[in-house]
Each structure stands twice: as C-alpha cells, then as structure tokens.
C-alpha cells in the first residue's frame, strides 16, 4: 500500500467483510439459541426446492435473471430521477407561464352572461307598415 487511496480501499474491504461476518454470526447465534436450531431454515429450503422442481427450470432461470437484473434496474431508476425532476420543473414552469399569460390576456367572457342565441327582445307594438301587394305571376313567367 503505497498511496492513501490503496489504504482506504483495503480498510473498506475489510470493513465490509467484518460487517457480513457479523450479520452471519448473529443469525447463527440466534438459531443456536432456539429449541430446534435451523429447523425452520431447513423446512423453508425444502419448500423452495420443491417449488423449483414443480415450476421447472425455465421459471427458475427467469427468477434468477430478475434477481441479477435488479441492481441494474435500480441504477437506471437512480440515473433517471434527476432527469425526471428537471422535466417536472420545466413542466411546472411552462404551465405556470401559460396560466399567467392566459389570465392577463383573457377577454372577461363569462358563460352566465353569454347569449349564444342572441339577446331576447321584448315584443313591442310596432306600427304596421303598409304592405305592397306582390306582383301577380303570369303564365309567361
């Protein structure tokens, strides 16, 4: 170990090994303290093997593929979060801008005051006009 980076990498590797050994040691100790040690683990393992035999190798390989692909899917999710955040900010900004522009340029049209069929007029007695008789049609027309 000639550099500080090598030293930190070595110490972190040992730290991870100690952490994993501690977790495994705790599980073993917990099982040893039970009246029937490891009986539930053995029973669960037998059930899993029976299920794998019944479902076939294709389903088992599919499950293993999902297990192996999970970290990559998680990484893609973590990478896409900042992109989705920026997209959400842009969407909110554009939406807010359009709402502001829409409010400042509205024509104050209100549906309650809109007379789509024209305003109804009261019937008043209008003076009658003299009607001129229409010209009669002749056979020549």
Q: Name the token pair of 141.
A: 């027309």
User: Length of the chain, please?
Assistant: 141
**So what's the pLDDT on residue 107?**
62
* Nearest CA among 21, 1, 22 for reference residue 10: 1
| Per-residue pLDDT tens digits of the chain, which is 141 residues long | 789 999 999 999 999 999 999 999 999 999 899 999 989 889 999 998 998 889 888 888 998 999 999 999 999 999 999 999 999 999 999 998 888 877 666 566 666 666 665 556 666 665 666 666 666 666 665
| Helix spans in the chain (H) | 4-32, 39-55, 57-104
60 and 52 in contact (C-beta within 8 Å)?
Answer: yes
Give the number of other CB atoms < 10 A from CB of residue 38.
13
């Amino acid at each position: 170990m000639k550099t500080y980076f090598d030293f930190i990498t070595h110490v972190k590797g040992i730290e991870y090994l100690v952490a994993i050994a501690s977790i495994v040691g705790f599980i073993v100790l917990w099982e040893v303290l039970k009246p029937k040690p490891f009986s539930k683990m053995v029973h669960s393992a037998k059930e899993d093997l029976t299920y794998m035999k019944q479902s076939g190798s294709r389903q088992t390989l599919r499950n293993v593929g999902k297990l192996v692909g999970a970290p990559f899917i998680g990484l893609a999710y973590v990478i896409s979060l900042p992109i989705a955040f920026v997209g959400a900010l842009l969407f909110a900004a554009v939406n807010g801008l359009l709402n502001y522009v829409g409010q400042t340029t509205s024509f104050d049209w209100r549906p309650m005051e809109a007379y789509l069929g024209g305003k109804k007029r009261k019937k008043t007695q209008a003076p009658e006009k003299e009607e001129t008789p229409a010209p009669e049609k002749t056979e020549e027309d």
